[in-house]
Chains A and B, each alone.
Chain A
Amino acid sequence: MESVVHLQDAGVSLGGRPVLRHVDLLVQPGESVGVAGPNGSGKTTLIRAVATLIGIDRGSIEVLGSHLGATDLVEVRRSIGLIGHQPSLLSELTLAENLEHVARLAGLDVSRVANALDVVGLAGAADRRAEAVSFGMKRRVEIAHLLMTKPRLLLLDEAASGLDESAHDLIHALVGSVCGRGGGCLVVSHDRSQLGELAARVLSLSGGRLERVT
């Protein structure tokens, strides 16, 4: 069975400074892996490299069975879902319009939007503009987006930070749903307790190196 993510001796430098060094990481289908590390340890760079949003300088990276560099990234990227530090919503659009925009770009049926908003508890706020809602509500919209697009690889970068308990439950459900479909999850956070809840195994990233398994 092909791996979901496989990094071998991967290295990434940004602005001439090495951020990730000799990283080996394997995420198997149905598995959720956590990576803990302090600020500046390279967690976001790791997520962005796996998301194909930045290239690696050395080693190899395989995502969803495709060796990056030898593949058309567009198809691989369509199967990746990412929740990053900052919400990616357009402030001037309503929550529903943001999801409709996502659905249209992804070639999905727009009628799924209402149901997705309902699932994340935002049915009553569908017509509110993104600029007028809280950070937690924006996060819920991003969860709704991933519920619609059903990624095979889910990447969470401090996604649970600052969220209430019910939003945590939604992220749990999202991770469970992706892993249940045979996909994989990579979750990074500085908070080990969050990772313990979301990942079956947790690695530690320090100084750009994945050091130990807990």
Chain B
Amino acid sequence: MTFWRQAIEIARVDLVVERRIGNTLRITLPFAVVALMVFPIALGLQLGVVSVVGIGVFWALAILFGMQVALRQSATDTRERRDLQALLGVDPTARFVGRCISGGSLMVGFMLTLLGGMIVLFDPVVPPGAWPVLLLSTLLVAIGLTELATLAGEVTTDLSNRTVLASLIVAPLALPLIIGASQSVAALERDTGILPWTLLLIATDLALAVAGVALARPLEEATR
């Protein structure tokens, strides 16, 4: 009970802080939407091309700006806050889970908004049955990217240039998510089945969750 109480409290306060700072809503999201608009404008009236590249552009921007959303927590984490939480007896695993809950909620909201923007601006051509697959892939990528960034934030705690270092950790390790997500819709077009790609996304999410939970305590102690 204590574990979940702590995890939910950490998530709750993180979301309150995010609502007041507005990093995601007022900074990252508007820029991502502007970036989304650049492509149709640059491609002019070639509507056929715009509708074909839509999903690819969405994934590229979702990963790029999603990383900003995911890494936002580690940029505001101070040693004093970590010390306080340690002395209040906060379980490092509850901390990891709490941060994943808040970061994941933000990430899902961010990606769904971006997906909506892409649909409006690009009017993408998709094979039958692609929308549920795209929605599922978006959710799985959002969860995986949040877990990865939370883990990277913990690994780089107290290091100078931690935001840069965390990005360098997240970028290569996000490859399975990027490949799984982009290939799941492409597999529908090729009619080759989405199961392997969906399983890749689920397995990556689960592996990151297990790694985060298992490493939370050792990382907490090792980074002191």
Q: Is A61 an interface residue (CB 8 A)?
A: no
- Give the residue name and chain of the B residue nearest to A51 (CB): B87
- Give the residue name and chain of the B residue nearest to A86 (CB): B80
- Give the residue name and chain of the A residue nearest to B20 (CB): A92
* A92 interface neighbour in B2, B17, B78, B85, Cβ under 8 Å: B17
**A105 / chain B contacts, CB cutoff of 8 Å:** 6, 9-10, 85, 88-90
- Give the residue name and chain of the A residue nearest to B80 (CB): A88
Bitwise interface map of B from 91 to 133 toward A, beta carbon under 8 Å scored 1, else 0: 1000000000000000000000000000000000000000000
- Give the residue name and chain of the A residue nearest to B85 (CB): A105
**B88 / chain A contacts, CB cutoff of 8 Å:** 77-78, 102, 105-106, 149
**A101 / chain B contacts, CB cutoff of 8 Å:** 9, 13
**A86 / chain B contacts, CB cutoff of 8 Å:** 78, 80
Given contacts A53-B83, A88-B84, A93-B17, contact A74 B5 (CB under 8 A): no
| Interface contact A90-B81, CB-CB below 8 Å | yes
Bitwise interface map of A from 60 to 103 toward B, beta carbon under 8 Å scored 1, else 0: 00000000000001110110111010111010110001000110
Q: Is A121 an interface residue (CB 8 A)?
A: no
CB distance from B222 to the nearest CB of A (A): 10
Contact residues on A (Cβ < 8 Å of other chain), bracket: 20 to 34
Given contacts A74-B89, A105-B90, contact A88 B224 (CB under 8 A): no
- Give the residue name and chain of the A residue nearest to B9 (CB): A104
| Interface contact B87-A77, CB-CB below 8 Å | yes
* A51 interface neighbour in B9, B21, B78, B83, Cβ under 8 Å: B83
**B175 / chain A contacts, CB cutoff of 8 Å:** none
**B210 / chain A contacts, CB cutoff of 8 Å:** none
Between A and B, 28 residue pairs with Cβ closer than 8 Å are A51-B83, A53-B83, A54-B224, A55-B221, A55-B224, A74-B91, A77-B86, A77-B87, A77-B88, A77-B89, A78-B87, A82-B87, A86-B78, A87-B80, A88-B80, A88-B84, A90-B17, A90-B81, A92-B17, A92-B20, A93-B16, A97-B13, A97-B16, A104-B9, A105-B88, A105-B90, A106-B88, A107-B2
With A87-B80, A97-B13 given, name 20 new contacts (CB 8 A): A52-B86, A73-B221, A74-B89, A77-B87, A77-B88, A77-B89, A78-B87, A78-B88, A82-B87, A86-B80, A88-B80, A88-B81, A92-B21, A93-B16, A93-B17, A101-B9, A101-B13, A102-B84, A106-B88, A107-B2
